[in-house]
């Protein structure tokens, strides 16, 4: 199974860039134009002053008209922040579930592997008459373990934050398809349907080609879709820091470079989702994960430069 995307590690790099608390303060665009800097509100007649006609109100500052490019950029960031709504809190709440799933999944894989090895040993030692019953019973035991693994995988896919509903629903559908096929084979074994080794081998081949491969691809796509959500979240956190009014220009430039790098990698990872070969998809995704690491360099440089400028 493909491991958690490296972006989990990256989040630690980006969530706190080493910037001081004051550098994390942000001022919204509306707030910048509405805060009456330097204004003093005086209520009532001040002692020692005669009543005079009220001063003419100051002209409000002119708000520059946004270019179409700027409007499109604002819309893109608004959409990005909309996709990120609730993501961080959901990920924090999901940490224990994620850890428990990985631990139990690894344990069941080991149990399934041990059962297969035990079955091979028993089959080699069995005489001709006992070989078929042992083969059938072993196959049933392995399938029963896999059913429990699929039940946990479905729970995992249903609750994991980040992936789009398209890839979540696809993963759940293929998990259910494989589970139903396995349950049918178990029922056939119990009814005595399989009479020879060739029939068992045919059932195994059918499960692999028609159901397991589709499920594996769907689960890989689910994790890649989740990694896209991580990259989206990291860009937002960096943008929050970039929008601080206390940020030096040199630091802002490096953070912008990190955001642009992450944005480029995000698009490349999205493009991987069109691949329909699981092995090729996993290989390509690992390469993209490696490339994402280069995006952290600008963020690290920004943190180091900010510390240097404050000393």
Region 285-298 average pLDDT: 86
pLDDT tens digits along 193-251 = 988 878 888 888 888 888 999 999 999 999 999 999 999 999 999 999 888 768 888 88
Domain ranges of the chain: 87-219
pLDDT of res. 246: 81
pLDDT of res. 102: 92
Q: Please state, in angstroms and rounded to a whole number, the distance separating the CA atoms of residues 145 and 177.
A: 16
Q: Which residue has the higher pLDDT, 133 or 308?
A: 133
Q: Does the pLDDT at position 302 exceed 70?
A: yes
Identify the weakest region by mean pLDDT among 28-42, 45-59, 118-132, 155-169.
Answer: 28-42
- Of the candidates 215, 216, 145, the residue with the CA atom closest to the CA atom of residue 173: 215
Q: Which two tokens stand for residue 102?
A: 């990985």
Task: Tell me which residue has tokens 């604002």.
Answer: 74
Q: Please state, in angstroms and rounded to a whole number, the distance separating the CA atoms of residues 293 and 262.
A: 9
Q: Please state, in angstroms and rounded to a whole number, the distance separating the CA atoms of residues 178 and 270.
A: 26
pLDDT of res. 308: 72
pLDDT of res. 57: 64
pLDDT of res. 162: 96
pTM for the whole thing? 0.74
pLDDT of res. 261: 93
Q: Does the pLDDT at position 300 exceed 70?
A: yes
- Of the candidates 181, 298, 201, 195, the residue with the CA atom closest to the CA atom of residue 251: 298
Q: Does the pLDDT at position 64 exceed 80?
A: no
Q: Please state, in angstroms and rounded to a whole number, the distance separating the CA atoms of residues 81 and 87.
A: 10
pLDDT tens digits along 131-155 = 888 888 888 999 999 999 999 999 9
């Amino acid at each position: 199974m493909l491991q958690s995307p490296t972006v989990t590690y990256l989040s630690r790099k980006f969530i706190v860039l080493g910037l001081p608390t004051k550098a994390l303060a942000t001022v919204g665009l509306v707030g910048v134009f509405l805060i009456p800097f330097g204004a003093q509100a005086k209520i009532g007649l001040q002692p020692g002053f005669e009543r005079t006609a009220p001063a003419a109100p100051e002209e409000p500052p002119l708000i520059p008209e946004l270019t179409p490019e700027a409007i499109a950029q604002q819309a893109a960031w608004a959409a990005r922040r909309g996709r990120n709504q609730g993501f961080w809190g959901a990920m924090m709440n999901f940490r224990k579930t994620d850890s428990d799933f990985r631990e139990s999944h690894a344990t069941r894989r080991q149990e399934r592997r041990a059962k297969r090895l035990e079955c091979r040993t028993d089959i080699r030692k069995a005489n001709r008459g006992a070989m078929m019953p042992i083969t059938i019973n072993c196959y049933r035991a392995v399938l029963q373990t896999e059913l429990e693994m699929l039940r946990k995988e479905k729970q995992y896919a249903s609750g994991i934050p980040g992936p789009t509903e398209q890839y979540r629903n696809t993963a759940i559908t293929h998990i259910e398809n494989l589970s139903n096929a396995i349950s049918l084979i178990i029922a056939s074994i119990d009814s005595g349907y399989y009479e020879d080794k060739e029939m068992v081998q045919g059932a195994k081949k059918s499960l692999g080609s028609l159901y397991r491969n589709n499920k594996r691809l769907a689960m890989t796509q689910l994790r890649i879709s989740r990694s896209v959500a991580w990259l989206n979240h990291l860009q937002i956190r960096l943008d929050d820091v970039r929008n601080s009014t206390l940020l030096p220009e040199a630091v802002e430039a490096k953070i912008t470079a990190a955001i642009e790098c992450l944005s480029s990698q995000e698009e490349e990872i999205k493009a991987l989702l069109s691949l329909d070969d699981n092995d090729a998809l996993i290989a390509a995704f690992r390469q993209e994960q490696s490339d994402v690491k280069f995006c952290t360099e600008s963020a690290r440089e920004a943190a180091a430069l900010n510390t240097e400028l404050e000393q």
